A and B are shown apart, each in its own frame.
Chain A
């Protein structure tokens, strides 16, 4: 497994002066290609902040971030947008699908920004929806889909561009346990069968149990790495 992401001495400070809050205090972290990594920690431990920096949604205050061997921590907003467009897929706790928009069109959206033509978009989006088992629901709008189905659409949207890494921030946070297990199985399949690298933030040990590697955060620092031999 080769290195995909390399964080060194990452710090993140919110606010200034007396009110400054040190969310990250020097995080070192590596993600290998093909890994399924769970980031765990209590709230305020810095796991979400790390996730945002990994996803190039936010920039670190200090430290270095190498993505595919290139240093990206000083990228401008536009450069980061283009990086996300090419290499990163997101799955959020709140699904974040566009309102009043069919599953198919939601999944096509990243391809629109990539400038793919309509036929290619449709084909790729349908394939992604089939992959997550939602082919028959392609023309349903967000409001007509259950929470589990919405999260599957979001996963399809994240993988339709065949990204280097899929970042999932509490992907099962809004779902019941049965639906959560289904989503975890899906992620596991994508990782195992399609070779998608996954980094997932969760605070539930049951969900982390699906990953290969578990990284524990505490007080803005990495507290430990753990290879999960008993992957579910």
Chain B
């Protein structure tokens, strides 16, 4: 009986190509839209998380300022080297602490010049902000302590000033001083906020203070938190310490801010998760719309099919056989539609992820869900009108207009 039903169903599909096409089209749209939306959503989430992880997952950046409120009165004082030392000595669970004294200057090498950011810091800076060297080395303790004229350059500087030459061992001019390039950083790419880490010249902090800024101000402090510790707790202790150092009374607001990269990445992750949820909701709606399409075409062909059922019953088909044929037809069309929909969706996702520079993500659970939901609608709306028709007296089915 299965064989007979299969033969009859395939024959009917071949004879009614337009009807078969419209039915499968509904399923194709339903499956494809869900898979495309959810896959792109997941790819975006992954890509955002990847760029957040470039920041270093457990990094605190401390800057002066009054948070997001409109500030009035005098600008808050800068940090001092004492603050940095205190954090290093009094707060546990820290891998590295690095002060940052920043200014800007034009870097000159031979006939070329490039206007860039100058960062004065210690060798801990590279560890704290997870930067790697493509060439050369970091500062020695002696160079930091003695305020020597040595520098490490970002990849943008290397590209613009040295072209294909090896910069290590060459001398760069910054304002009045000349400093030797001892290292080059690996290209990192803009991580979404803050200054471009590739476009900077890094010097020992004392060199910057003495010879470029002429003051003792530290604009920012970078802290790398040991992964085994909770960054929130550490951020709390640092805050307490800085309040003491800056003589803030119990009711006075902080005049500095601590950015926790982990918090930021958590926030971004939850935002993208929300986005994915939204996309899934849109996808669910398109699945329902696709389902209604399937339902329509199935119901529209009921009149024609009722007569067909009447003929089959009159020449001796048992109701069960007719139903089996319709069921097989609906299942076949739904599966073909589902498979085409999946293939189509995967091609679109592959193309889009290339075009938008996103990772290719295939969520097989959602794909299966979309597939089965569409197939279910196809089968249900193919089957139940047929069931009603098959329960009719053959005479009534034949008379059906």
Contact = CB atoms under 8 A, between A and B. Distances in A.
A113 B321 contact: yes
Interface string A106-134: 00011011110000000000000000000
Nearest to A105: B11
B314 A113 contact: no
Nearest to A59: B393
B291 interface: no
B232 interface: no
Main secondary structure of the interface of B (DSSP, over half): helix
B369 interface: no
Given A57-B393, A98-B308, A113 B316 contact: yes
B311 A81 contact: no
A194 interface: no
Contacts of B341: none
Nearest to A114: B316
B394 A86 contact: no
Contacts of A96: 307, 310-311, 314, 398
B314 A82 contact: no
A214 to B, nearest CB: 24
Contacts of B8: 112
Interface residues of B, number: 25
Max chain A CB contacts within 10 Å: which of B4, B11, B321, B394? B394
Contacts of B311: 96-98
A193 interface: no
A100 to B, nearest CB: 4
A92 interface: yes
Contacts, number: 66
A90 interface: yes
A81 B394 CA distance: 10
Nearest to A52: B395
A74 interface: no
Contact of B316 (A52, A86, A99, A101): A86
B228 interface: no
A88 to B, nearest CB: 8
Contact of B320 (A78, A86, A94): A78
Contact of B315 (A78, A84, A105): A84
Given A58-B393, A58-B395, A90-B314, A77 B319 contact: yes
A57 B314 contact: yes
A165 B100 CA distance: 104
A100 B12 CA distance: 9
A82 B315 contact: no
Nearest to A141: B15
B313 interface: yes
Nearest to B314: A90
A57 B316 CA distance: 10
Contacts of A99: 15, 304, 308
B317 interface: yes
B95 interface: no
Contact of A112 (B4, B307, B318, B398): B4
Contact of B319 (A78, A94, A161): A78
Contacts of B398: 92, 94, 96
Contacts of B310: 96
A152 interface: no
A47 interface: no
Interface string B247-281: 00000000000000000000000000000000000
B307 A82 contact: no
A72 B72 CA distance: 102
A81 B15 CA distance: 25
B315 A85 contact: yes
Contact of B15 (A94, A100, A112, A115): A100
B388 to A, nearest CB: 14
Interface in A45-92: 52, 55, 57-58, 77-78, 81-82, 84-86, 88, 90, 92
B149 to A, nearest CB: 90
Contact of A78 (B314, B318, B393, B395): B318
Given A78-B319, A81-B316, A100 B16 contact: yes
B312 interface: yes
A5 to B, nearest CB: 17
Given A84-B315, A100-B15, A109-B315, 20 more contacts: A58-B393, A78-B319, A81-B313, A81-B316, A81-B318, A82-B316, A84-B316, A85-B317, A92-B398, A96-B310, A96-B398, A98-B311, A99-B15, A112-B8, A113-B312, A113-B316, A113-B318, A113-B321, A115-B4, A157-B315
11 contacts: A57-B393, A57-B394, A77-B319, A78-B318, A81-B313, A81-B319, A84-B314, A85-B316, A90-B314, A112-B7, A114-B316
